[in-house]
Structure 1
């Protein structure tokens, strides 16, 4: 049997921005309950009192404040070094039988260059390569004949070192990406390892994106 509390929690969980705002206590619960009322009555198949929805929202917001904020904020306060690199090019190629060999050739040649950015990742059907623009001509050279799906230039990377407990704390990435989304930052790529991750954004957005991420340490 469905309860009001369970239906209210499910409703909030399907709306990520509402979920976060509720956990921060910045929503008028009476107004929210009024908007939710018709959908909840349909879901439960009976009349529901608005006051019951308000009470369920209040209990949920208090629970979310602990589940979302306390654990995540602890991780964010311990964010490590934040590194920014500019003048990057982002290539996406279709996976082929020859692409790994060409990637090995590229890596071998760029080893002769100092202080450049290079990273790559491979999906089911795409291979992604991000390099400093100063060596982007080497990608064009070695990947000649491969099918180029996308190429973006004038990008910047922001790399964040994460504390060890990030892997056991749900919602850390969501919290960071949510803040970037609120500022209208478009993320071109996300590259991650266990204890650091990198986002690629337009050079026009990098100053705002850096400030957003840096400010997370002072929550």
Structure 2
């Protein structure tokens, strides 16, 4: 049977900003309990008193990723170089039987210029090319028989080298996304390898995004 504590946990899990503020003791428990009275009453289908909610809030134990801020701060300080590449174009193509063969032709061309920015991601239904805009016409020509879902110019990529053991760090990506969201930065694409994390943004956001990520490191 669901309890007030279960409802409080369900609500906080879906609202990480609220959960973090609670873990840092910067929220008025009484005011929050009053705010949650109606939704929790609806969840339990009975009237719930704010006092019961406030007690559940005080007993709530946030995840270790939120409470262990000292450890997370050390990881952030160990972030590697932050690299920015501009003049990029993003293509999203519907998957087909010919896309791999066409991709091979594109790779032959890319191998001739080592300084080009290029990424390729294949999903279940679509594939994504991000490449230096200087090759935009070449890509369009070689994929002319494919179905284009989307195409976007004027993009920049910000790449961050991550600590070697980043895959064992709970909540690492949350801190990136939280900071960027607070700054009102819209992410066009997100690309990740084992030790590298890249966000793709429109050019109007690149300076603001770079500054936001640098603040995390410092």
Same fold (TM over 0.5): yes
Name the CA distance, whole Å, in 1 between partners of 2:59 and 2:155.
Answer: 44
**Equivalents in 1 of 2:206, 2:152: separation in Å?**
15
| Partner residue, 2:201 | 201
Q: Which residue of 1 aligns with 2:173?
A: 173
1:23, 1:46 → 2: CA distance? 28
Taking structure 2 as the reference length, the TM-score comes to: 0.89
Q: Give unmatched runs, 5+ long, in structure 2.
A: none
Helix, strand or coil at the partner of 1:198: strand
Q: Secondary structure at the match of 1:97?
A: coil
Out of 61, 64, 70, which is 2:62 matched to? 64
SS at match of 2:21: helix
What residue is the counterpart of 1:81 in the other structure?
81
Shift of 1:190: 0.9
Task: Label 1:58 to 1:73 Cα distance change in 2 as closer, same or farther (>3 A).
Answer: farther
Cα distance in 2 for residues equivalent to 1:188 and 1:42: 37
Provide the aligned C-alpha RMSD in A: 2.0
Q: Does 1:120 align with 2:120?
A: yes
TM-score, length-scaled by structure 1: 0.89
Q: How does 1:89-104 map to 2 (within 5 A)?
A: 89-104=89-104
CA contact (8 A) 1:188 1:199 kept: yes
Shift of 1:45: 5.0
Preserved CA contact (<8 Å) 2:65 2:171: no
CA distance in structure 2 between the partners assigned to 1:146 and 1:42 by the alignment: 50
Q: Distance in 2 between matches of 1:72 and 1:59?
A: 24
Instruction: Establish whether residue 36 from structure 1 lines up as the match of residue 36 from structure 2.
Output: yes
Per-residue CA deviations over 1:95-140 (Å, capped at 9, x if unaligned) read: 1111111111111012112411011100011110011111222211
**Residues 156 and 206, structure 1, Cα contact 8 Å, conserved in 2:** yes
